Structures are given as structure tokens and as C-alpha cells.
Amino acid sequence: MTLPSTPAIIAAAVAIFLGGFGGLMTPIGPWYHNLRKPALQPPNWLFGPAWTIILGLAAWSAVIAWNAAPDHAARTSVVILFVTNAVFHTAWSPLFFRMRRPDLALIEVVFLWASLVALVVGLWPISHFASLLIVPYLLWVSFASWLNAAIVRLNRPFA
């Protein structure tokens, strides 16, 4: 039996942290329930499983990209891309749910989305497969961005 490698342990720990932090920063209470939402709003129960799968795929992508990186410079790029994404990932839920500012979250989600595009593009020369594993995350954040924009449009102002 082989033990998981250090990159796999780190990637799994980061994914678990991001999922846990996101969950803690996402209280589904009266404020959220009272927001007007678009017709395509998924049920609340879907978000936990979706994020679990997406963050698991991202962790897998990170390990594959790290192992496929041909040199130190490429590994550094992999780390920078994933750390940048993690920073933007952690910022969205507190803005939207804790601060109750979907308008600010809508600005922030542009940076989260861009960090995912950067991951897809930046990982492609290192590992096509690692890059493709990020696509579901990019698609989900694209949809979430649309939901965020719809909530802002339906409920403004938020100041």
C-alpha cells in the first residue's frame, strides 16, 4: 500500500479547508431566504455536493499539475495559480452572506472567475488533463456569477 504524497495531502487539506470555510461563511437564514432569486436558482441542498465535487476535482488537478510540472519554475506557477484562486474563492462567501453585500460579491466574483480562466490556461501547457479538471469549477462559477448578478438586479440597493 502506498501512502499519499505530500502534494496530495496538501491539496486535499486545502480543498477541505476551502469547503469548510465556505460552509461556515454561508449562513442560510432569514436574510437570504427573503432575497428575491431568479427562477433558475438551484435548491440550497445542491450547493454542498456541487462544491465538494468541484473542490475535489481542483485538488486532483493541483496534484496532477504539480507532478507533471517539468521544473521548479513550472511548479511555482502551479502554486501561484492555485493560491490566487484560493484567495478569491475564500473572499466571495463572506462578502455575499456575512456582509450581506451581493453587490460587492458580484465585483469580487469577476476576480474569482478570472483566476479560474488563468488556471485553465496556465495549466494547459503543463497538463491538459489538470486543466480540464478545472472546467467544471469555471462553469459553476460562471453560473454562480449569473445568479449573483440576478440577485443584485432583483434586490438592490444593498448599501
Inter-CA distances, 97 with 24, 28, 65, 86, 116, Å: 10, 8, 33, 18, 22
Residue 124 confidence (pLDDT) above 80: yes
Report the CATH number at residue 36.
1.20.1260.100
In a domain, 114, yes or no: yes
Backbone φ and ψ of 156, nearest 5°: -65, 160
Q: How many domains does the chain have?
A: 1
Q: What is the mean pLDDT of the chain?
A: 95
Tens digits of residue pLDDT in 2-53: 767 899 999 999 999 999 999 999 988 999 999 999 999 999 999 999 999 9
C-alpha 148/C-alpha 135 separation (Å) is 19
In a domain, 1, yes or no: no
Q: What is the pLDDT of residue 2?
A: 72
Q: Which domain holds residue 27?
A: 6-155
